[in-house]
Amino acid sequence: MRDLTAKLRALIKTDVRRPVYEAELPVPATDASALAEILGGRLHGPSCITVDRVWEAYDWHGRVRVESCAIDAAAPLALFDPRAATGADWASRVVFFDLETTGLSGGAGTLAFLAGCGWFEDDSFKVRQFLLSGPAGEHAMLDALTEIFESASLLVTFNGRAFDLPLMETRWAFHRRDCPTGDLPHFDMLPPARRLWRWREDDGDCSLSAIERAVLRFHRVGDVPGFEIPSRYFRFLRTGDAEVIRGVLEHNRHDLISLAAVMAHALRLAEDGPDACETAGEQLALGRLYERAGDRPRALHAYERASESDDFDLGNQALARLALALRREARYDEAAVAWRRILERTPAGGSLGVFERRAAEALAIHHEHRARDLTSAKSYAQSLRAAIATGRLADQTDHRLDRLDRKMRVEKTRGARDADGQVPLEGILT
């Protein structure tokens, strides 16, 4: 028992879960200038290696040419994020930014050991990467990034609002330096990607690697998995083996060019409209973007196109949004047609889902208050009541059915008036 107690105490004293801090990182085994030469780069200050690569305008990335990925000032960026498209020159210097780090937890213990920046020059895409061959090179990296960011008109990331920029702000604060990204417009591509492509027929994965396969038809061969990157960097520091880190540099470069291509594709869809979309999910997403921007005609067209989808849930959602948009324009009869199309899609004898219940409720309201068809209103209300057990909607439907019964009795009484305009006694008694 004493031996077991001693072992437990020894384990407690050694906290293997403690984060790795800069001062504890191993010293590289090889000179930084030699590593820079092996990696095809140059030394930028102590322990900071700069590597440049260029994709020419005629190169292909998946199914798109590099020159077609350049961002034009006329692109409808404000549809996705009005905060990013500030000023007429927002597209003059778009910088794409991506980090590789020693972990995903953030905080002062997480080091961004590789920072990649990409931008277009004369239709070619240039990538500049800053790799730390030791923690001492972080000062030089921050200076170089500051220079790039100060000349940028827009910073584009993928999930950078939640991870990349907060981490870099921490690093600048750690070194008591001003953060150059404070006033720089920032566009995070992850939320638009989720809006446009979460309805894909596969698992709906909206990671950058999944989207580049589905949208760009670009498949990486021999790519380094993201979870393996931190361990590769620590191995690189221990051994000085440049081959260990070469794959990480390639992974980061592909992230940058894919980010540019995905953003350009999203902007092109928003500009060309739903007829240019390949999936109903894209059309539905565009409809929501147009409606939020106040472009009702394009929103209605996008919803109408998306409603033709064979996907049951997606088609119902498109029809529901189409009906709501028509109702806002006081086109009540057309809205009722859209609601009926939802119920017509429901299999005979099938249960009513969320959109079917909304359709039945909307049609009951329409026929009671606008079409003045109490029989149809009661029929829709009864179908809705049969689909729900208890709750607020059930109470509201019960109240509506009682009101409809009273109205129908009144109409029956009015119809029973005799030729002299008098109400017969049996009509009064009922």
Which 8-state DSSP code applies to residue 152? Answer: -
Dist CA 100 CA 131 (whole Å) = 9
Whether residue 220 is contained in a domain is answered as yes
CATH, residue 314? 1.25.40.10
Instruction: Concatenate the DSSP letters of all residues of 72-88 into one string.
Output: PTTS-HHHH-TTT--ST
Would you give per-residue pLDDT tens digits along the chain (430 residues)? 556 666 555 654 544 444 444 445 554 445 888 999 999 999 988 899 999 999 999 999 999 999 999 999 999 999 999 999 887 789 999 999 999 999 877 666 789 999 999 999 988 999 999 999 998 999 999 999 999 999 999 999 999 999 999 999 999 998 899 999 989 999 999 999 999 998 876 667 889 999 999 999 999 999 999 999 999 999 999 999 999 999 999 999 999 999 999 999 999 999 999 999 999 999 999 999 999 999 999 999 999 999 999 899 999 999 999 999 999 999 999 999 999 999 998 887 667 889 999 999 999 999 999 999 999 999 999 999 988 888 888 999 999 999 999 999 988 887 766 545 555 544 444 3
Residues 6+ apart with CB under 8 A from 204: 197, 198
414, with CB counted inside 10 A (0-12, 13-18, 19+), is exposed
Asked whether residue 100 falls in the same domain as residue 74, the answer is yes
Q: What is the pLDDT of residue 6?
A: 63
Q: What is the pLDDT of residue 17?
A: 44
Asked whether residue 102 falls in the same domain as residue 190, the answer is yes
Q: What is the pLDDT of residue 163?
A: 93
Q: What is the pLDDT of residue 204?
A: 72
Which 8-state DSSP code applies to residue 160? Answer: I
Asked whether residue 373 falls in the same domain as residue 232, the answer is no
Asked whether residue 326 falls in the same domain as residue 430, the answer is no
332, with CB counted inside 10 A (0-12, 13-18, 19+), is middle
Asked whether residue 62 falls in the same domain as residue 205, the answer is yes
Query: In this structure, what token pair is assigned to residue 179?
Result: 């953060």
Residues 6+ apart with CB under 8 A from 82: none
Dist CA 323 CA 317 (whole Å) = 10
Give buried/exposed letters for 196-221 (b at 16+ CB in 10 A, else e). bbebbeeeeebebbbbbbbbbebeee
Dist CA 325 CA 44 (whole Å) = 56
> Domain range holding 222?
21-272
Whether residue 16 is contained in a domain is answered as no
Contact 41, 131 (CB under 8 A): yes
Q: What is the pLDDT of residue 117?
A: 98
Whether residue 393 is contained in a domain is answered as yes
Number of neighbours of residue 425 by Cβ within 10 angstroms: 8
Asked whether residue 237 falls in the same domain as residue 366, the answer is no
Whether residue 1 is contained in a domain is answered as no
Using a CB cutoff of 8 Å and minimum separation of 24, what contacts does 263-266 make? 263/69, 263/71, 263/96, 263/156, 263/187, 263/189, 264/64, 264/68, 264/69, 264/70, 264/71, 264/75, 265/64, 265/215, 265/216, 266/80, 266/189, 266/192, 266/193, 266/196
Query: In this structure, what token pair is assigned to residue 116?
Result: 């990649």
Whether residue 420 is contained in a domain is answered as yes
Instruction: Give phi and psi for 139, each to the nearest 5.
Output: -60, -50
Residues 6+ apart with CB under 8 A from 393: 357, 361, 384
Asked whether residue 327 falls in the same domain as residue 384, the answer is no
Three-class SS of residue 427? helix
Query: In this structure, what token pair is assigned to residue 246?
Result: 């070469």
Dist CA 159 CA 98 (whole Å) = 9
Whether residue 387 is contained in a domain is answered as yes
Q: What is the pLDDT of residue 416?
A: 67
Residues 6+ apart with CB under 8 A from 22: 111, 135, 138
Contact 256, 98 (CB under 8 A): yes
| CA nearest neighbour of 282 among 310, 259, 312, 303 | 303
Asked whether residue 324 falls in the same domain as residue 406, the answer is no
Whether residue 85 is contained in a domain is answered as yes
Query: In this structure, what token pair is assigned to residue 154?
Result: 């827009």
Asked whether residue 388 falls in the same domain as residue 405, the answer is yes
Whether residue 10 is contained in a domain is answered as no
CATH, residue 178? 3.30.420.10
Domain boundary among 323, 345, 367: 345
Domain boundary among 307, 329, 345: 345
Asked whether residue 379 falls in the same domain as residue 339, the answer is no
Asked whether residue 306 falls in the same domain as residue 375, the answer is no
Dist CA 172 CA 384 (whole Å) = 59
Dist CA 340 CA 366 (whole Å) = 11
Residues 6+ apart with CB under 8 A from 120: 69, 70, 71, 94, 126, 260
**Total domain count, the chain:** 3
Q: What is the pLDDT of residue 108?
A: 65
Number of neighbours of residue 78 by Cβ within 10 angstroms: 15
Asked whether residue 87 falls in the same domain as residue 141, the answer is yes
